Amino acid sequence: MAFSHALLTRPMEQSLELRQMLSHLDLDVVVQPAFDFISADARSAQPEDFAALESADPRDLLIFTSPRAVSFGLEQIPANIPARTRVAAIGPATAQCLADAGVRVGIRAQGGYTSEDLLAEIDREVRPAGSRVFILLAPGGRMELATGLRERGCDVHLVHVYESRPAQLDRAALARLESADRVLSVWTSGNTMKALSHRLSPAAWFRVCQGEWLVISDRLERLARAFGPGAIHLAQGPGNTAIANTIRNIV
């Protein structure tokens, strides 16, 4: 299937990297993230949760939910906390960011990169009941993970180390979508789907929904069906390399 345009909706840095990977293809690539991310001062905003985190010990679990949680979290928490707790990563990209920062990851999902996958791995690796768990994330994120851990008897602390805000729209680039013949759009977040469905112009969103969508998980595939795209493709994995390889196979 020939596509005239590709819409990349990942955060800006990741979208620009992916655009470079696709530069050899005959595609007009439009980069439009839904959100920018900024640091949130967890120590000031959540003094009780942060004090509990500072007292974490080897029985406790420290969960990083994204590469952003790694970058924004490690700059805030005491450097010795990851060394004296059990560290878990939601997926391979997060685990790699931790490894690059010199943090040893003890628990990571082996079969996927969802909250359910990580919960299954935690069940295999540790007995979580009675443990304190500190989840580093943005407000509103990974509630399935928090709920699952509470159901397992854990004392869960959500530590908000970053937050999102609407990204500025690149109206000149998005205007190119309004007359596009066939659009392939890339989606790695349900929140991004919802946000851009409201923020793009009706003409641009119509072209996006007439085109085909590429998603990174079965959960996103289910969410995508509600928007009625022409077809939905499942990427080989969540990282840019896997996404780029999948795009090469379908364009």
Please report, in angstroms and rounded to a whole number, the separation of the first and last CA atoms in the chain.
Answer: 6
Average pLDDT, the chain: 93
The topology under which CATH files domain 38-164 is: Rossmann fold (3.40.50)
In angstroms, rounded to a whole number, what is the distance separating the alpha carbons of residues 222 and 43? 37
For residue range 95-144, list pLDDT tens digits in order. 999 999 999 999 988 766 788 888 888 888 887 788 899 999 999 888 88
**How far is CA 90 from each of CA 44, 74, 127, rounded to the nearest angstrom?**
26, 16, 18
Strand 162-166 versus strand 35-39 pairing type? antiparallel
Q: Which of 5-19, 29-43, 134-148 bottoms out in mean pLDDT, i.e. has the lowest?
A: 134-148
What pLDDT is recorded for position 1? 54
- pLDDT of 93 > 90? The answer is no
For domain 5-34+168-250, the CATH architecture is: 3-Layer(aba) Sandwich (3.40)
Would you list the domain boundaries of the chain?
A: 5-34+168-250, 38-164
Q: Which strand ranges, in their side-by-side order, compose the sheet holding 86-89?
A: 107-108, 86-89, 61-64, 132-137, 155-160
Which has the closest alpha carbon to 145: 109, 104, 93? 109
What pLDDT is recorded for position 10? 96
* DSSP result, 25-82: SS-EEEE--SEEEEE--HHHH-HHHHHHHHT--TTSEEEE-SHHHHHHHHTTS-TTHH
Strand 35-39 versus strand 28-31 pairing type? unpaired
Query: For residue 238, which phi and psi values (nearest 5 degrees)?
Result: -85, -15
Residue 24: strand, helix, or coil: coil
